[in-house]
Amino acid sequence: MGKAIRVAYGEAVAKLGHTNDKIVVLDADLSGATQSKYFKKEFPDRFYNVGIAEENLMGVAAGFAYQGFIPFASTFAVFGTGRAFEIVRNQIAYVNLNVKLALTHSGISVGEDGGSHQSVEDISLMRSLPNMTVIVPCDSIETEKAVNAAAKFIGPVYLRLARPAVEDITNPDDKFEIGKALTLVDGNDACIIACGLMVSRALEAAKELKTSGIDTAVINMHTIKPIDKETILKYNSKCKVIITAEEHSVIGGLGSAVAEVIAGTNGSKFAMVGIEDKFGHSGNPDKLFEEYGLTKENIIKKVKENL
């Protein structure tokens, strides 16, 4: 098992602090959970806890960005994108400020804490904001690269970070570029475009499909916005079916973003694997993934149905 994505974030931003003194980290009383505690330990005077006040977290982060700093603001995804939405909209996205929203505990993989803490709508919310970049790393290796890329990029970035430990599926020498999808497996019959924790399931599905003679590509779409249109259109014209897979509502997430690209193109057939307009609930994350159809089996089923 690799490192948890949130731990990879905490370590990466703490490391970055050594080479970039413009970086400050803010949290809203969750530094032990978001793992911003690593930065706090290394740079206590560049770490700011605003208390349980997510709106103020985003406003204060904006203030730092106006003054030329690179603030990473951390809390849970449901609070950072939901409760603080309008501050993110008006003070960060609208002004195109250089704030990084490093929000953890996204999706139903939060598990036992239940539906109140599981964001199923956060990608949709952030993706709809002009100026906002949205990145969903799939493992700890990619998370470190995403944190570094976000820090270099000038403008607001939402890093959607998951809570659990996951297998590392990308390689340290894979190139990470914002807006450029990573083709993990090439294929000619079907194409699975996945992000976050669904990338590993997409790889497993493709492997199994291959044994039944269906040549399946897997695309790791780590940047949801700006979406890599070129890669999508390439597979849209060569494959008979495109399936998206995400740990997020099918309304407004990765699937919607891909659909927006291929709508009206007369290309592949298209279907989505994602959360079907429901909230989550308490439970073991693996069990929840099964219940919500976020599985290898469901991806395979959708591919076969549409071939």
CA 277, CA 133: separation in Å to the nearest integer?
Answer: 24
Please say which residue, 60 or 197, places its beta carbon nearer to another protein. 60
Nearest distance from residue 106's CB to another protein, in Å?
A: 23
Cα–Cα distances in angstroms (integers) from residue 5 to residues 52, 109, 188, in the given order: 23, 12, 31
* Binding piece for another protein, criterion CB under 8 A, among 4-12, 50-58, 129-137, 288-296: 50-58
Place of tokens 């259109």: 233
Among 33, 53, 165, 233, contact with another protein (rule: CB under 8 A): 53
Among 5, 24, 110, 261, contact with another protein (rule: CB under 8 A): 24
* Binding piece for another protein, criterion CB under 8 A, among 52-60, 102-110, 145-153, 239-247: 52-60
Q: Which two tokens stand for residue 115?
A: 């539906």
Residue 288 found at the interface with another protein (CB under 8 A) = no
Look at strands 182-185 and 216-220 and give their pairing. Answer: antiparallel
CA 111, CA 114: separation in Å to the nearest integer?
Answer: 6
Q: Which of residues 56-85 bind another protein (CB under 8 A)?
A: 56, 58-69, 71
Nearest distance from residue 133's CB to another protein, in Å?
A: 18
- The reply to whether 54 belongs to the active site is yes
Please say which residue, 103 or 272, places its beta carbon nearer to another protein. 103
Place of tokens 């690269």: 145
Please say which residue, 64 or 235, places its beta carbon nearer to another protein. 64
CA 175, CA 41: separation in Å to the nearest integer?
Answer: 30
**Which parts of the chain fold into alpha helices (H)?**
5-19, 31-34, 37-42, 54-66, 77, 85-87, 122-127, 140-152, 198-211, 229-238, 254-262, 285-291, 296-306
Nearest distance from residue 59's CB to another protein, in Å?
A: 3
Q: Which of residues 29-48 bind another protein (CB under 8 A)?
A: 46, 48
Count other C-beta atoms under 10 Å from residue 60's C-beta: 21
Q: Which of residues 82-121 bind another protein (CB under 8 A)?
A: 86-87, 90-91, 94-96
Please say which residue, 63 or 293, places its beta carbon nearer to another protein. 63
Nearest distance from residue 31's CB to another protein, in Å?
A: 16
Residues in binding contact with another protein, number by CB under 8 A: 28
Per DSSP, what are the bridge partners of residue 180?
177
What are the respective helix, strand and coil percentages of the chain, to the nearest 5? 45, 20, 35
Spot the catalytic one: 54, 142, 144, 246: 54
Q: Which residues are catalytic?
A: 54
The footprint of another protein (CB under 8 A) covers 24, 46, 48, 50-51, 53, 55-56, 58-69, 71, 86-87, 90-91, 94-96
